[in-house]
Amino acid sequence: MAATGSPVARDIAMKVRERISWSGFDKAKLDRAVAKFVGRIDVVKLHFLEACVGCGVCAPACPYYYVDERNAPMIKAEKARYIYRKKLTFAGRILGWLVNAKLPKSEKDLDEIVEAVYRCTNCGHCYLTCPFGIDSGSVIQELLKIVATDMGRVPSLIDFFAELERSGAFYEVPSLMEAWKAALTKAEEAIGKKLPYDKAGAEILLLPMLTDALFYPGAIAGAIKILEAAKLDYTVPSKPLGFRTPVAAVAGRPEAAKEALKRLVDSIEKLGVKTVVLLDGGFPYFWLRWKAPTVLGRKLDFKVLHIVELVDELISKGKLEFETADDEVTWHDPCQLVRRGGVVEEPYRVMAKVSRRFRPLPHHGVNSLCCGGGGGIGCMSMEMIKQFSSLVGLKPEDLISGEKEKEFIEKTEKAWAVALKRKIDHIRESKAKPRSNSLPGLHALNCWRCKDLRSRNRYYAYCRIPWKVCAGCWNQMTVHDPYTVF
């Protein structure tokens, strides 16, 4: 479904283009980026930077280690330590390269930093395996990515998302608002009545992000059916309170992330609700529940839950009943939900109630294998760029700064396919059966895997990232979407 050209989308694309540069090396920009890098080192990051002994225990935990051994977490994080040693250690200032202390000095050095940043999903698996408790993902995504972004090396589409959210301009893009309205209309049709919009003082705020409406409209309807079945006092925002807050964090723009997060929290607190329920099991959950108090410097006035936590609570209290099926299903733990968010047991209690033939993966819970699509990598595909640019009325070239960025995206897409295979093979071992889902409004999109235009019925390969694959490819991949059980 192609949209007519949106002036707002064009303006944002131009702004993004002005601050992105995938070629060259600007020393003045580097100095500013390094200063920002140094300014974000706190006592916890200092431990991460100082305590690594290079033992390599973390390496097999990273999905991109299987693409190239140079993608081992300690090797990628070492590029941040080069900068840290040069700027903040006595030995590094005096002895320089003799103690592995150095700053990027060329375009090639910068290319290596960008490669490291976008071969990390920040899944937290390396953190879990490290005997010294070093979170290499945090070092790469919260320190090293700042250097890459401030030097202009950020994927245009991800930066477009970040600016779209920071400015609130997504409200002015007609096609995005149409998708939001269509998702809510679908939910109203599912329950046969109008939704309780913007109800002040409600017990629960169901908080879909705009991306939920774009990629998972059925999940919104399913969640509302649960709230109705449990006879809960809830409300739904009439307009999206965020695009996918705070997507700027994925783009390496912490200031913009804080701005968007504050706006979201203020909007929630204005409604006076007691509990916020999220559908998104990715970084929005981790940020809103755990990072927001630290970033904003205050305690939030509401509780944050993921939908699966709420369902588990309702089942345990006898407020939600349903027939147990015999489907052979499994559950993939989203990394940000389980390792970063701490939601470990709840999904398994729910899934065991949902199906008598629930099959946990061999590696599950905190030991779940990462799919390789986090950290913005899931958006880095030419197909995604083509589809989203069409949706907002732009041309694909408007969301690609040049040939070098295009080559990097294509290279990343190939790396992701290799990283993803480990997860797909792992799920195939469970012998769970695929389940389908209909995607009204997105039926014109091609299968991302074989590129063929298929029927309206689409299949999700993961509960968070919008991979749309046809039935034939789905059966080859054998990946289950946990949302469909509801």
| Predicted pLDDT of residue 426 | 84
pLDDT at 432: 75
d(CA 332, CA 359) in angstroms, rounded, equals 11
User: What amino acid is encoded at 356 in this protein?
Assistant: R
pLDDT at site 438:
28
Q: What is the predicted pLDDT for the residue at 484?
A: 30
- pLDDT per residue, tens digit, the chain (486 aa), is 445 568 999 999 999 999 999 999 999 999 999 999 999 999 999 999 999 999 999 999 999 999 999 999 999 999 999 999 999 999 999 999 999 999 999 999 999 999 999 999 999 999 999 999 999 999 999 999 999 999 999 999 999 999 999 999 999 999 999 999 999 999 999 999 999 999 999 999 999 999 999 999 999 999 999 999 999 999 999 999 999 999 999 999 999 999 999 999 999 999 999 999 999 999 999 999 999 999 999 999 999 999 999 999 999 999 998 888 888 888 999 999 999 999 999 999 999 998 999 989 999 999 999 999 999 999 999 999 999 999 999 999 999 999 999 999 999 999 999 999 989 888 888 877 654 332 222 233 345 455 443 332 333 333 333 334 454 554 444 333 333 322
CA triple 129-465-366, angle to 5 deg: 20
What is the structure's pLDDT at 321?
Answer: 87
pLDDT for 440 equals 28
Domain range summary for the chain, segments of one domain joined by + = 7-160+373-421, 174-367
pLDDT at 458: 32
CA–CA distance, 189 with 270 (Å, rounded to integer): 28
Q: What angle, 0 to 180 degrees and rounded to 10, lies between the N-to-C axes of helices 156-167 and 7-19?
A: 120
